[in-house]
Amino acid sequence: MKGVNIFKNLLKRFGSVLGLLILCISFSILSPYFLTARNWSMIFQQVSVLAIIALGELLVILTAGIDLSVGSLLALSMVVMAKAEVEYGVNPFLALLIGILVGLGFGLSNGLLYTKLHLPHPFISTLGMMMIAGGLALVLTKGYPIPGLSPTVRFLGTGQLGPIPMPLVCIIVCYLAFHIFLTQTVLGRKIYAIGGNREAAKLSGINVSRVLILVYCIAGFTFALGGIILAGRVNSAFPLAGKGYELDAIAAVIIGGASFFGGKGSVGGTLIGVLIIGVLRNGLNLLNVSPFAQMSIMGAVIIIAVYVDVLRRRAS
């Protein structure tokens, strides 16, 4: 009984970090491969796309919004980029830029649709955009993958900086940048304020629409970046590449302690959320658990993680 209480207290205090630790300890006991450097390098590469796009989703969720267009924007950006390079022979740097611009542009549309058309909730605007962008990706490719990307375009997905694989470099750079952005800048503070109380933010002179549009733009940027990394890793762009990513990204952010009601959440927490998903998938694969069963386990983890967070908040 006492043991249970101690465990509860630990959970309350450390929440998702503790969850991650428990997962790691369990898997390292169950599988001798789990704690090897090679496996961890693999984990980071596997979660790299999710890690990047979760940052965009985090920003949106901090403003009490949601972005469902993650997977579609990821796929569309990568497809447009690949098509530009492979089919039209565009300079690889320019192709990368085009990919990023697609993400930014569609993110901008998400923001404009929500703030200027006064659609009731970003669920609607981004749901629409998810289907529009997803459909466009299919139309552009007629449903076929586009292989044969140049090493320059693939660099972010497969290159190395010294001994460190580029996806990991991207994660480190982006997470540091977002952390600083959210905690140290005026704009970051405004994002939290809008999520915490939009009306109060507006009455305090914050241009809410402009901040929201920017948030959806940045989110679009991260989705495109995720697409570029993924294209590099698999050496092709395919229209259904983003399938399921929207829910993974939302799950990672929520497991990481962000509140659906906005105003609460952190970059550090999101990283933990991403790693919990990554470690769980990796560990279950090592233990030969079928992907079908993995899905159910993942669902349970989301519910448990959020419940722990509820407990934690109730305690404080």
Partner 1 sequence: MDLVEMQGISKFFPGVVALNKVNFDLRKSELHALIGENGAGKSTLVKILAGVYKKDKGKIIIEGKEREFAGPQNAYEIGISVVPQELELEPYMNIAENVFLGRDFSRRVFLKDWSRMLAETKSLLKKVGLAVDPTILCEELSVAQQKMVSIAKALSYNPRILVLDEPTAALAQKEIKRFFSILKELKKSGTSIIYISHRIEEIKEIADRATVLRDGKKITTVDVSKTNIQEIVRLMVGRELKDVFPKRERVSAPKEILRVSNLLGDKFKNISFSLQEGEILGVAGLIGAGRSETAKGLFGDIKTKGGEIWLKGKRIRIRSPRDAISHKIGYVPEDREMEGIVPTTNLKENISLAFLDDLSKFGFINKKKENEIVKKVIKLLRIRAPSPEVNITTLSGGNRQKAILARWIAKDCEILILDEPTIGIDVGAKTEIYKIMNELVEKGVGITMISSELPEILGMSDRILTMHEGEITQEIERKDASEERVIEGMVGIK
Binding segment for partner 1 (CB under 8 A), chosen from 2-10, 39-47, 191-199, 225-233, is 191-199
Separation of alpha carbons 308 and 305, rounded Å: 5
- How far is Cα 49 from Cα 274, in angstroms, rounded to an integer? 10
Residue with Cβ nearer partner 1 (6 or 186): 186
Instruction: Supply the minimum distance, in Å, between the C-beta of residue 263 and partner 1.
Output: 3
Piece of the chain touching partner 1 by CB under 8 A; list 33-41, 138-146, 243-251, 257-265: 257-265
Contact status: 131 vs partner 1 (CB under 8 A): no
Contact (Cβ atoms closer than 8 angstroms) between residue 311 and residue 11: yes
Residues 259-278 that bind partner 1 (CB under 8 A): 259, 262-264
CA 247 distance to own-chain centroid: 9
The binding track of 44-83 with respect to partner 1, each residue x by CB under 8 A or -, is: ----------------------------------------
Contact at 8 Å (CB) between 286 and 33?
A: yes
Is residue 221 within 8 Å of residue 69, measured between CB atoms? no
Q: Nearest 5°: CA angle at 55, between 21 and 192?
A: 100
* Shortest Å, Cβ 309 to partner 1: 14
> Is 9 a binder of partner 1 (CB under 8 A)?
no
Site for partner 1 (CB under 8 A): which residue of 15, 195, 269, 273?
Answer: 195
CA atoms in the 13 A half-sphere facing the CB of 199: 0
Give min distance, CB of 175 to partner 1, in A: 18
Asked whether 226 and 47 are in contact (CB, 8 A), the reply is: no
With contacts defined by CB under 8 A, how many residues of the chain interact with partner 1? 24
Stretch that binds partner 1, among 133-141, 198-206, 216-224, 296-304 (CB under 8 A): 198-206
As a residue count, the chain comes to 316
Interface mask toward partner 1 for 199-238; x: CB under 8 A? xxxxxxxxx-------------------------------
User: Residue 133: helix, strand or coil by DSSP?
Assistant: helix
Count of CB atoms situated within 10 Å of the CB of 146: 22
Nearer to partner 1, 8 or 189 (CB): 189
Is 276 within 8 Å of 19 (Cβ atoms)? yes
Interacting positions 157-186 with partner 1 (CB under 8 A): 184-186
Cβ-Cβ contacts under 8 Å for 69 (sequence gap 6 or more): 106, 110, 126, 127, 129, 130, 133, 223, 246
Applying CB under 8 A, which part among 113-121, 169-177, 193-201, 271-279 lies near partner 1?
193-201
Whole-number Å distance between alpha carbons of 313 and 273? 17
Residue 187 binds to partner 1 (criterion: CB under 8 A) = yes
Which residues sit at the interface with partner 1, rule CB under 8 A?
Answer: 184-187, 189-190, 192-193, 195-197, 199-207, 259, 262-264
